[in-house]
Structure 1
Amino acid sequence: MVRKHSDMVLRLALAYVRNMADAQDICQDVFIRLFQHHPEFADQDHERAWMIKVTINRCKDMLRSPWKRYISAMERPELPIPEKEDREVVSAVLKLPVKYRIVIHFYYFENYSTAEIAAMLQYKEGTVRTQLKRARERLKAVMGGMEDE
């Protein structure tokens, strides 16, 4: 389970909290909860959806905590992405507000459809499409208006 889902959980947590150390803590917490609760899954999709939901909930908990409200990281750790161009894209995505970061992450990095994203986040599909459109517009502005990207 850890080998199968750890990359996805870590990427999602990083997209949500924008800090590698916090994302790693969340990843660890998700797997601890998995092993403590031993949920039974109907299939692979149910298993993946559970992992995503628990990850998002842990991210929200961390961002709501009083500690996070008043303490901020002194410096942002370097993203563990070897390609400079990919690192620039991920950095631009991380600058977006959370509602845009998450839909961009699910759509482009996890390859979910807008209907699947809407179901996971409990949004209407039209809302997800609107957030994707607005996120793309903001990314275009942040990255200097690359027309073909």
Structure 2
Amino acid sequence: MEQQSLESNDCIEDIINRYSNMVYRLAFAQMRNKTDADDIFQEVFMRYLKKKPEFQSEEHGKAWFLRVTVNCSKKFWAAAWRKRAEVLEESVIFESEQERELSYELKKLPVKYRVVIHLFYYEDLSIEKISQILKRKPSTVRTQLTRGRRMLKEILEEEYHV
């Protein structure tokens, strides 16, 4: 009995280590600040620990964590108290100045475009996979990706006078 419990704890730790960076990046992209991203991160893994889903594949696990992160972020933004709160600007440490600047510019996009761009470029997911995770039609995801890119290009051109 003790051995089985230890093995399941090791498995939980492996799962958390495997998906933690991905969940945090998406939570930060959605929330735009470290404190709220930490809350979302914690909520996602608490849900994992409560439900203990079994994944058929690596892709299934990745999709589950991305979907739960998106759902927790939506729930957070929809909270009544949140509508009256002010967001403090924070950032995470990036490897390069260019990554930091791009993250700052991405924050200017509406959430629906920001999440699609994040999943496509940072998580390297296909439009089909993004549509499944976000429960949107592939055509909607393509449109949001196109509009998000266009908006980001306009922001960058305006900011850097390109």
Structure 1 segments of 4+ aligned residues over 3 angstroms from their partners: none
Tell me, what secondary structure is at the counterpart of 2:120? Answer: helix
Tell me, what secondary structure is at the counterpart of 2:30? Answer: helix
Residue of structure 2 equivalent to 1:102: 115
The C-alpha deviation readout for 1:28-75, integer Å capped at 9, x for no partner, is 1111111122112212111111111111111111111122111113x3
The C-alpha deviation readout for 1:114-147, integer Å capped at 9, x for no partner, is 111112112221211111111111111111179x
- RMSD over aligned CA atoms reads 1.5
Aligned match of 2:37 in 23, 46, 66?
Answer: 23
* Equivalent-residue separation in structure 1 for 2:26 and 2:99 (angstroms): 16
Letter paired with 2:67? K
Q: Highest CA radius of gyration, 1 or 2?
A: 2
Please state if 1:4 is matched with 2:18: yes
Q: Which runs of 5+ in 1 are unaligned?
A: none
* Equivalent-residue separation in structure 2 for 1:145 and 1:132 (angstroms): 20
Aligned match of 2:96 in 76, 83, 93?
Answer: 83
Residue of structure 2 equivalent to 1:34: 48
Aligned match of 1:52 in 49, 56, 66?
Answer: 66
Residue of structure 1 equivalent to 2:137: 124
TM-score by length of 1: 0.91
The C-alpha deviation readout for 1:70-109, integer Å capped at 9, x for no partner, is 1113x31133213111111111111100110011001100
* Equivalent-residue separation in structure 1 for 2:49 and 2:135 (angstroms): 26
CA contact (8 A) 2:40 2:73 kept: yes
- Is the helix fraction higher in 1 or 2? 2
* Equivalent-residue separation in structure 2 for 1:51 and 1:85 (angstroms): 28
Identity over aligned residues, as a percent?
Answer: 39
Letter paired with 1:33? R
Q: Which runs of 5+ in 2 are unaligned?
A: 1-14
CA contact (8 A) 2:70 2:134 kept: no
* Equivalent-residue separation in structure 2 for 1:61 and 1:2 (angstroms): 22
